[in-house]
Structure 1
């Protein structure tokens, strides 16, 4: 039975149904830990990369597992759909640091992107075209075009960073934890200086946890779809939302607990891809909070306190364990979470499936 009908967005506003979300179906295909999730442009397919060197493809309409593909020789992480739902790119985790362009239809490689000398920690496809960005532990950011194996551009940095395209595909952000700064670059002038630099220091807040104040590791950076906000996710009990035009701190998102990453629960940049995301309408942020379920923050920020701290407006139980990876469907009111299994969450009135955990 289908999880939803059609491929168009629901006529209801997300704000009208956000409180009714529950896990509609959970799927477990092996003992793998899921390290990344990505929806295709149509919202009909979900792709998971797992630490058993497998790719798992899910049909979002039917709420079913569709296909399993293996990359035993090279490993797999950060699997991202291209703008063709039958193709993806992903980072290798062993043997070499090549990015691989794969046809999910026949499990054949279309192209290899070689250049990084150490593992890739971030991989993002442009929302505009066939360009994509990769960031690596070799302290470089590379620009690629799916149509060519040659690197289209190189940006050398002095430490590994998180990267994100803005919604227009014209600029991109580089979040440098080492510098506690977010840098904005024009894609057309990537070899020039950044056109904006936003410090994110927050010592007055951080000194209550340690002295000297220590910024927690950053796990992800993401623009809201309206381009106004920029999320800097961390591996701690709080995240940051900043103004993407001015760089001002808008709020800290507080949660009950950080989410474990990998099998041993230890923080590892190479096993993380972020446990929170904006909703497509930019009205909410959805994220994991360890074994305490799902937190949802309202970006109207009506509950913001005088120190710019924002508590969740809603918390949901997660019966299938921690949500170490979270992704929201771009076309429908569905989001997915994963750790050892993938769960699809829907507003209660849309659910037409068996109870959670049943196939």
Structure 2
């Protein structure tokens, strides 16, 4: 089900009829190159996009109006994510070329930007490889960053000091993806081979308290492009980069496969909808 942020008691069950009836509401053609990431604000009709033309664009999705455009010319922009303010975003560099180790932390810095003043409020340095994704807690100002340097870092928007580091096996080839649940108590990390690991945010140094593998992705060398918890924390959606780019809906506690969507067609593994809140 999709959960409405505006009405916490409003749900839309995701079934075949709903998925087949989805159509385009607005079309935005302002980007001159690929849009590499986008994010909807949690309560207002706002959409922010990052594209390979180094542009950040802010839209009102209700009216279809482009509200503003900003540029990050030096290092580009990707993994754009709203904070809990409609005027602020966090983002990572698009720079992926090899750089001297002494410069790596400056190149792969995460930036906290005010759209209102078009200035950077804070820089988060620590990663020495390209950042693969960002995940903001829905409860407070903490967020996760995952990187090709095989680390997942925990940050707080209020300070540039890293709050914690999880080091993944160096043999892993795919970019890790991390996401935090809506309570801010658990986070998941996914990499190649269809494996997803669950950690306690308060004691991640003790290692994963649970793990499971998606059988259809066991031979995948690429990992995942997206990972999300449902609003109620009972489900995880995982988007594969391998093959047809399948979307898996999994039980968050045991990894049980509930649904698989491939090119818009789903395979049901249990009767009923994909229950719970939307990611």
Following TM superposition, the consecutive aligned residue runs of length 4 or more in structure 1 with deviations greater than 6 angstroms are none
Name the residue aligned to 1:41: 42
For the aligned residue pairs, the C-alpha RMSD in angstroms reads 3.0
| Deviation at residue 167 of structure 1 after TM alignment | 2.1
Q: C-alpha displacement at 1:136, in angstroms?
A: 0.6
Check conservation: 2:141, 2:156, Cα contact below 8 A.
yes
Contact 1:253 1:309 in 2 (8 A): no
TM-score normalised to structure 2 length: 0.81
After superposition, give the CA deviation of every residue in 1:43-92 in whole Å (9 maximum; x if it has no partner).
Answer: 32110010011100001232211000000012100010100110010001
Q: Does 1:176 align with 2:191?
A: yes
Cross-structure match for 1:232: 238
Would you say 1:153 and 2:138 are equivalent positions?
Answer: no
What residue is the counterpart of 1:252 in the other structure? 260
**1:201–1:215 Cα contact (<8 Å) kept:** no
Deviation at 1:239, TM superposition (A): 3.0
Tell me whether 218-227 or 103-112 shows the greater mean CA deviation. 218-227
| Contact 1:101–1:110 (CA under 8 A) maintained in structure 2 | yes
Distance 1:184 1:225 in 2: 17
Q: TM-score, normalised by structure 1?
A: 0.64
**For 1:123-138, what aligned pairs fall within 5 Å after superposition?**
123-138=134-149
The residue number in structure 1 matching 2:100 is none
CA positional deviation for 1:309: 9.6
Q: 1:173–1:47: structure 2 CA closer, same or farther, 3 Å change rule? A: same
Task: Tell me the SS of whatever aligns to 1:252.
Answer: strand
Q: Which residue of 1 aligns with 2:74?
A: 73
Distance 1:242-1:12 versus aligned 2 partners, 3 A rule: closer
Q: Does 1:104 find its partner at 2:115?
A: yes
Say if 2:15 is the partner of 1:14: no
The residue that corresponds to 1:167 in the other structure is 182
| Contact 1:43–1:60 under 8 Å retained in 2 | no
Segments of 5+ residues of structure 1 without an aligned counterpart are 1-6, 207-212, 256-294, 298-302, 311-328, 331-359
Higher relative contact order (CA 8 A, sep 6+): 1
Superposed displacement of residue 93, structure 1: 1.7
